[in-house]
Amino acid sequence: MKTALITGITGQDGAYLADFLIKKGYNIFGTYRRLSTPNFWRIQYLNIQNKINIIPLELSDSSSILSALKQSNPDEIYNLAAQSFVGASFENPINTGNVSGLGVVRILEVLRQYYPQIKFYQASTSEMFGDGREGVLNEKSFFGIGKNYDKTFWTGLIRQLIVARFIEKNIESYGIILINEKGNKFLSSPKTFQISLDHEYSDDDKILTHIKGGMSADLELMSILKKLRKQISNKLNLPPYIIFQDPSLEDMTLKYPITISEIANIHGVGEGKANKYGKEFVDVISKYVEENNISRIDDFVVKTAGSNSALKLYIIQSIDRKLSFEDIISFKGLKMDEFVKEMESIIYSGTKLDISYCTDDVLDEDQQTEINDYFMEAESDDIKLAMDEFDGEYEEFELRIYRIKFLSEFAN
């Protein structure tokens, strides 16, 4: 039986590589950083945690590398550990070079001196080669072949491939696309597959001049509220969207809430956020309504809990009891994506959810600090923008989970 040592086994590539090699009959050793909180949720998701020997390793320390090799005595080494977050690499270039660059040199030097028989694989970024279709690769290579097409094209293609049953999306896999039997047959004997390109709707937004059932937003009040939000956010050293998001401000310009109880019923506010940030907004709106002689809606609409209030209540109570996500979704028969959406709905209604006991299982301390710093500095909590900023470092599920924790802590 061959033995493989995989650095960076807690990452996506490392976990799936370990799963692949285990099926090939390998004995697997995986490494983690001693200075960070171990984050094993991926290998737990693949159900291979009991088939892997986990040992500590610091690529910045040659003695640590030598110790790991003595413990594992591998036939092959797969080095996937590196500083892969672009933002952090610019903020701390020396440490990045020390780990991602010199770390490789240290491994090779230990192999040269003590274990020359061990095979070594270095997983480096393709970006160092520029256009992946030149040089060693050629025009028939799959790698990088889709770079000439934008995100709209790939979104439409993936959706139509799912409809045609060539691929499947498993929500529990957090965005991983699986090629099924029909898809593999197509790859073995490809034929012409026509798709219709997605329509680009960005220009159509210009016709949306009314919101909320045809009522026009008060643009003058909207400007006043945005300035007030900015002042409060600067005073509290928080991003503006933490105070109130734009849809909430728009709803205020339609309903003109002048009491805390009324602003609590504004879209995306809730009682907690109303008590925390609402007073200054209520005062400004009251003054605006009086000065401009505005007739408010006679019957202020009070939002109701909705038909799925029982589910939301169950989720809130379960999280208060610190039940695991798996137990909650299993009991209610939910998919993970449905469960996350329900939690987001609860958070955006202004209710706190303390999910720190679960985020610690998904993200280590360094990762949480990194994501927290991003949301603190960002102009929006939009997940797509966060995904672009982190450039694949984190999966959408991880960012959505931490956003729930972040908004619960600072916004609600």
Percentage of the chain surpassing pLDDT 90?
A: 25
Lowest-pLDDT range, 136-140, 222-226, 260-264? 136-140
Residue type for position 212: K
Tokens of 133: 């279709």
Q: H-helix or E-strand containing 178?
A: strand 177-179
Buried b (16+ CB within 10 A) or exposed e, 22-55: beeebbbbbbbbeeeeebbbbbeebebbeebeeb
For residue 137, the model assigns a pLDDT of 53
Lowest-pLDDT range, 2-16, 173-187, 217-231, 372-386? 173-187
Contact of 346 with 353, CB cutoff 8 Å: yes
Within 10 angstroms of residue 351's Cβ, the number of other Cβ atoms is 18
Same fold, 3-128 and 309-410: no
Bridging pattern class, strands 119-122 and 177-179: unpaired
Q: CATH top-level class for 219-291?
A: mainly alpha
Lowest-pLDDT range, 79-83, 205-209, 215-219, 321-325? 205-209
pTM value is 0.43
Q: How confident is the model at residue 350 (pLDDT cuts 50, 70, 90)?
A: confident
Q: In the chain, where are the structural domains located?
A: 3-128, 149-208, 219-291, 309-410
Pick the residue with more confidence: 67 or 142? 67
CATH topology of domain 3-128: Rossmann fold (3.40.50)
Percentage of the chain surpassing pLDDT 70?
A: 81
Pick the residue with more confidence: 386 or 4? 4
Q: Is the pLDDT of residue 253 over 90?
A: no
In this prediction, residues 81-96 reach a mean pLDDT of 74
Q: Is the pLDDT of residue 84 over 70?
A: no
For residue 202, the model assigns a pLDDT of 41
Alpha carbon of 255 to those of 86, 94, 259, 269, 286: distances in Å? Answer: 44, 54, 11, 13, 11
Q: How confident is the model at residue 215 (pLDDT cuts 50, 70, 90)?
A: very low
Report the range out of 75-89, 131-145, 193-207, 315-329 with the highest average pLDDT. Answer: 315-329
**CATH code reported for the domain at 309-410:** 1.10.10.1390
